[in-house]
């Protein structure tokens, strides 16, 4: 998913297993990505110090690294029901723009397995996030751990990803209006008003009738 982004990220060598660095191979993107797999949420200052001390010198010496780097922290929850316990820490981290732009990607084991199973079936994550049925299920229960819930979070937390646009043929507005009037049995009323508006001072007559009706109410 990362390597398939428009930035065409390439993984760089890193001193730690839980810390992965990426650099955009596409020359038009001066962008870097750092992935940190952590079992706890540190303070913003602790994160800045930790990343700074473990970043390869070749990146630190790159002028665009400090301003064009996103740090994504992978943080596993036992269940989404426990998210409330960490909301303040997550907000504190993501609102701290000093040194790096930070994003906390929280997830559960159930979500991870569900998404892996979906992708292993040969379907794509782009298809998943545009499925109306999955979206409707998510709206009914946002805290249900599913492949869709994690997929949407990936698009939110990885800023270089864009949700694929799904083209649909829109229903003509006039057709919708006519359908509504027909369902409400108002077609004859609307047509009578339309006829009056096209004759002489019909506009004034209609407006006066509407004003009188409102005053009577």
> Is 133 part of any domain?
yes
Number of H helices, E strands in the chain: 10, 5
If asked whether residues 105 and 59 sit together in one domain, one would say yes
Residue 78 structure tokens? 């036992």
Determine the average pLDDT of the residues in 3-32.
73
> Is 202 part of any domain?
yes
If asked whether residues 182 and 85 sit together in one domain, one would say no
If asked whether residues 153 and 177 sit together in one domain, one would say no
User: pLDDT for 162-181, tens place per residue?
Assistant: 776 665 555 566 666 666 65
Expressed in angstroms, the distance from the first to the final Cα of the chain is: 61
DSSP H/E element including 139 = helix 132-140
The pLDDT of residue 77: 94
> Is 164 part of any domain?
no
pTM: 0.71
User: pLDDT for 83-138, tens place per residue?
Assistant: 999 999 999 999 987 778 899 999 999 999 999 999 999 998 888 988 889 889 88
* pLDDT of 17 strictly over 80: no
If asked whether residues 97 and 18 sit together in one domain, one would say yes
> Is 162 part of any domain?
no
Residue 134 CA, distance from chain mean position:
15
If asked whether residues 80 and 181 sit together in one domain, one would say no
> Is 180 part of any domain?
yes
Q: How far apart are CA 27 and CA 7, in angstroms?
A: 8
Q: Which domain holds residue 107?
A: 9-157
Query: Per residue in 64-76, is it b (16+ CB within 10 Å) or e — as a string?
Result: ebeebbbbbbbbe
């Amino acid at each position: 998913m990362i390597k398939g982004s428009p930035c065409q990220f390439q993984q760089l060598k890193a001193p730690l297993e839980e810390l992965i660095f990426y650099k955009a191979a596409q020359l038009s993107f001066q962008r870097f990505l750092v992935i940190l797999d952590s079992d706890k949420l540190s303070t913003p200052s602790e994160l800045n110090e930790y990343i700074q001390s473990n970043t390869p010198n070749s990146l630190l010496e790159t002028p665009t690294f400090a301003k064009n780097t996103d740090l994504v922290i992978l943080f596993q929850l036992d269940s989404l029901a426990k998210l409330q316990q960490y909301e303040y820490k997550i907000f504190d981290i993501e609102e701290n723009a000093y040194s790096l732009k930070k994003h906390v990607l929280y997830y559960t084991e159930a979500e991870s397995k569900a998404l892996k199973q979906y992708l292993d079936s040969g379907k794509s994550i782009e298809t998943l996030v545009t499925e109306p049925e999955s979206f409707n299920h998510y709206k009914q229960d946002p805290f249900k751990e599913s492949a869709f819930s994690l997929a949407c979070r990936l698009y939110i937390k990885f800023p270089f990803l864009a949700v694929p646009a799904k083209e649909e043929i829109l229903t003509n507005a006039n057709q919708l209006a006519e359908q509504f009037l027909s369902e409400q049995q108002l077609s004859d009323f609307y047509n009578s008003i339309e006829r009056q508006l096209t004759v002489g001072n019909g506009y004034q007559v209609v407006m006066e009738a509407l004003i009188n009706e409102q005053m009577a109410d």
